[in-house]
Amino acid sequence: MNVSTEPNAERSANPMGGDLVKRHRLSTRLWHWLNAFTIFTMIGSGLMIFNAHPHLYWGQYGANYDGSWLDIGSDGTHGWVRIGPLTIPTTGVFGISTGTDGMPDAHAFPHWITLPGDYDLAKARRWHLFFAWVLMVPWLLYFIWSLLNRHLSRDLAPTRAELAPKHILQDIADHARLRFPTGAAALHHNILQKISYLGVICGLIPLMILSGLTLSPGWVAAWPWLYTLFGGRASARSIHFIGMSLIVAFILIHLIMVVLAGPFNEIRSMITGKFRLPKERGEQQT
């Protein structure tokens, strides 16, 4: 793919509401759909791995006798999630739920969100540690490519004006009222999109990769600074879990926004790259 063949929206002449414009680069589209599948396998298999020891700790060590800050457990009948002093009853979903055989299954996460469904730590690790490569290598390539073709600096980096608190508050208010950009304004990511996409690409994904590597005795021997970075293996495992939760939150909000903004147009733009600019609000009302 050649950078110069990518039409830049800013260069095309005065697009307006209703126009079909080029929106997503091929690299973005390929990486998006690869990740859509990869992240799904990573979360499912990761939750299964968590089921092997459903406790989280802070520090260098953390095992059964040490104080955990999060537990998902059950007494065989009632399930719960405990976060610090707070215990939340979660019977039927977390701690204990109905297994694939219809019988109560006392594992932290239920079979319908884990990969594989039935408890199998070995298989979950095979999924997780294969797709970790599929997550990591394309992320690295996409990151380098997006620096080179200036996707990061031109499309995703916020401008100084956009970072003004007033602008951010205005954008939050617009989102809350479901007033999405129309016409030429819809050509660009708004500030909340920029922050979330940059946050995932430059923050959450590298955080997940590095905290994941910190769980590996082989990688830690090669790169001992990983322990310094995360404060130990037990802490890295907690951070890995929190990072996963943030990615799940991102995906949910992302999907809701796609549906609200017009799923056909949005999904088409991520498949073909072509996006129809929403008509200006005045026209929409008439």
Partner 1 sequence: MNGNRINISQRRLHFTRRKLLIGGSVTSGLLLTGCEKIGGSATGTSILDTGEKLTYNVQRSLSSRMALAPEFRPDQMSPRFRSNGNTMPASADYATQLAQNFVNWVLRVDGLVDTPLDLSLADLREMPTRSQITAHNCVEGWTAIAKWTGVPLSFILQRANVRSSAKYIVFHCADDFGGTAYYESIDMLDAFHPQTILAWGINDQPLPVKNGAPLRLRVERQLGYKQAKYVMRVEAVDSLKSIGQGKGGFWEDDIDYEWYAGI
Q: Which residues form the interface with partner 1 (CB under 8 A)?
A: 40-41, 44, 49-50, 52-53, 55, 60-66, 112-117, 120-123, 125-127, 129-133, 177-178, 215-224, 227, 232-234, 237, 255-256, 259-260
CB of 143 to partner 1, least distance (A): 19
CB of 105 to partner 1, least distance (A): 15
Q: By C-alpha distance, which of 140, 128, 121 is closest to 41?
A: 128
Smaller CB distance to partner 1: residue 115 or 186? 115
Contacts of residue 142, defined as CB under 8 A and 6 or more positions apart, other chains included, come to: 27, 28, 31, 201
CB of 241 to partner 1, least distance (A): 10
* Neighbour tally for 92: CB within 10 Å: 13
CB 58 within 8 A of CB 68: no
Smaller CB distance to partner 1: residue 159 or 225? 225
**How far, in Å, CA of 150 to CA of 65, rounded?**
51
Smaller CB distance to partner 1: residue 33 or 40? 40
Structure letter (DSSP) for residue 116: S
Alpha carbon 137 to chain centroid distance?
Answer: 17
Smaller CB distance to partner 1: residue 15 or 117? 117
CB of 52 to partner 1, least distance (A): 4
Alpha carbon 130 to chain centroid distance?
Answer: 18
Determine the 3-state secondary structure of 246 from DSSP.
Answer: helix
Determine the 3-state secondary structure of 278 from DSSP.
Answer: coil
CB of 124 to partner 1, least distance (A): 9
CB of 16 to partner 1, least distance (A): 22
Q: By C-alpha distance, which of 218, 46, 33 is closest to 127?
A: 46
Q: What angle do CA 245, 251, 255 make, to 5 degrees?
A: 150
CB 62 within 8 A of CB 54: no
Block residue for tokens 């009632």: 78
Smaller CB distance to partner 1: residue 42 or 186? 42
Concatenating the DSSP letter of every residue in 177-191 gives TT----GGGGGS--H
CB of 246 to partner 1, least distance (A): 18
Smaller CB distance to partner 1: residue 132 or 244? 132
Smaller CB distance to partner 1: residue 45 or 146? 45
CB 143 within 8 A of CB 126: no
